[in-house]
Structure 1
Amino acid sequence: MVKLLKKIVVHSISRRSVVKILDVACSSKMSRVLIKPYIRLYKVNQQEIQHPKYYRSLKDFFVRDISPTLRPIDQGADVVVSPVDGTIADLGFASQDRIILAKNNTYSIAELLCNQTTGEFNGGFYLNIYLSPKNYHRIHMPFGARAIKHKYVPGKVFPVNNLGVSTIKDLFVKNKRTCTIFETQAGFKFALVKVGALGVGKIVSNYQEGEWLPKGAEIGRFEFGSTVILLFQKGMFIPEETLQPNMEIKMGQRIGKFKG
């Protein structure tokens, strides 16, 4: 009965009409009055934000920028950094063309990446990063590379928090998302998937196929709720040994390196 009630709640709040109402409400000037309560409710780090009066709406606050000095980028030549602030939901190595993203729920690599890949990612390392409401929601390049394939997939907007993940089967391939495959100068490939969620009006991508993007460059943002999934080509990436589920990480922080 509890599981059924959870499904009813998740499906109800994820309906297009509800999402549209949320988007309009959070974009209005009147929503500015919600910024201070939002900061208190989600314990947003106030040292990293401007004064609330500088933001036009709650959505404007949510997609806020921060000073680059607050997120130094590890400049090591082979070092790969986190593209976002967030919490590691899951990590590991792909097996038999599948990865485990949460609660022992497995996903096909081909399906997750919108069928843009062959078997080059099978056996590769993956990292699932959940961005909570308190986090900085802009996305940056984890390593200098060229965008060789990019695709947007329309879909649902189920919440990607524990409620959504534990209730909706195959959530990460049902929600709207963008899938981009990058290739480094040395020929190493990695994929970055931006997964939308409840309240996401847009998944913004600030690049095009064929464009070269340096490490640390801002490449997009979420407008409410989100997850980023990184997947690396087999045998080309060495993750940091300290990475583990439920660990908080910051954009620009070292998460591993490519083989030299």
Structure 2
Amino acid sequence: MSLAKLFALIQYPLPHHLLSRLVGRLAECRTPWLKNALIRRFIRQFRVDMNEAANPDPTAYATFNDFFTRELKADARPLGEGILSPADGRLSQFAPLEAGQLVQAKGHRFSAMDLLGGDGEAARRYLGGSFATIYLSPSDYHRVHMPLAGTLTEMVYVPGRLFSVNAATTEHVPNLFARNERLVCHFDTEQGPMVMVLVGAMIVAAIETVWAGQITPLPRGGVQRIRFDTPVHLERGAEMGRFKLGSTVVMAFAEPVAFADGLEPGAKVQMGQSLGAF
């Protein structure tokens, strides 16, 4: 048995939410010596480039989470043409949605309906469209931005597990992104419907949006849908949310996308980079 498969298997019995909430409490610690030690160790371990940060002083952040979701300098991520990468990370998969299925990894597919919390009507909007999945590693910038300008129509919280979403788990845990806790954000754009799914993961302490603040964790329960009578409009490249520790963004478009030449699964991308065009 490979180490990757073993790593995936040992996650099944773990208390995902308990571990994640404990880490979340540590990440919100305001004791100066402790939070500064955590931040400095993290910078060394993951070779974080603080020259990109709006505030490059590691000790200036009130908590580890404030450091982790740090703002970048205004010119750190210039916007390209067409559809933008919403985040820094690895473009793990991108392709047409064939028969309502998304590619998770080699040999693994999952349905758009499952990803969207069992909403078949919403899933049908993306038949014939395209999707892209971006994995944010711990060393990446962890704010998520709009690939297109759009108006939020509905936000859906879907409860679930909190498996790791790294490559090893993605390759060995079926339906991973449709199993994990996630936040589904539906938008109307000039190119038709677009959905952005912020997927929770092991030790991800919380997911936030710019319009509602911290959303996860929520008390145990079923799918929760929130519609917005007052339009929430976000411009192309604007921040829409953030992860407190790393995870994954899955986005889907109702129209087919011609992805940029030279992109391959696993390619490193940055927020604002052009991924392609309709």
The normalised TM-score by structure 2 is 0.84
The aligned counterpart of 1:239 is 259
**Contact 1:13 / 1:19 at 8 angstroms: preserved in 2?**
no
Match of 1:43 among 40, 47, 51: 47
CA distance in 1, matches of 2:14, 2:28: 18
Mark the runs of 5 or more structure 2 residues left unpaired by the alignment. Answer: 213-227
The aligned counterpart of 1:255 is 275
Deviation at 1:89, TM superposition (A): 0.8
Amino acid at match of 1:34: L
CA distance in 1, matches of 2:154, 2:21: 30
Mark the runs of 5 or more structure 1 residues left unpaired by the alignment. Answer: none
Moved more, 204-213 or 108-117: 204-213
Q: Deviations over 1:110-157 (max 9, x none)?
A: 111221514231221111100000100001111111112221112211
Supply the RMSD in Å over aligned alpha carbons. Answer: 2.0
Secondary structure of 2:264's counterpart equals coil
Deviation at 1:5, TM superposition (A): 4.2
Deviation at 1:163, TM superposition (A): 2.8
Deviation at 1:249, TM superposition (A): 0.9
The aligned counterpart of 1:220 is 241
**1:193 equivalent in alignment to 2:197:** yes
Q: Deviations over 1:37-63 (max 9, x none)?
A: 211211212321311111122222111
Q: Deviations over 1:44-83 (max 9, x none)?
A: 1232131111112222211111112101123x5xx22111
CA distance in 2, matches of 1:207, 1:242: 35
Amino acid at match of 1:90: Q
CA 1:241–1:8 in structure 2 vs 1: closer, same or farther (change >3 Å)? closer
**Contact 2:108 / 2:171 at 8 angstroms: preserved in 1?**
no
The aligned counterpart of 1:102 is 105
CA 1:15–1:118 in structure 2 vs 1: closer, same or farther (change >3 Å)? closer
CA distance in 1, matches of 2:145, 2:89: 13
Q: Percent identity at matched positions?
A: 30
**1:139 equivalent in alignment to 2:144:** yes
The aligned counterpart of 1:68 is 74
CA distance in 2, matches of 1:176, 1:87: 20
Deviation at 1:239, TM superposition (A): 2.0
CA distance in 2, matches of 1:18, 1:12: 12
The aligned counterpart of 1:26 is 27
Q: Deviations over 1:211-253 (max 9, x none)?
A: 2211111111001121011111134x33212221111111111
CA distance in 2, matches of 1:245, 1:132: 15
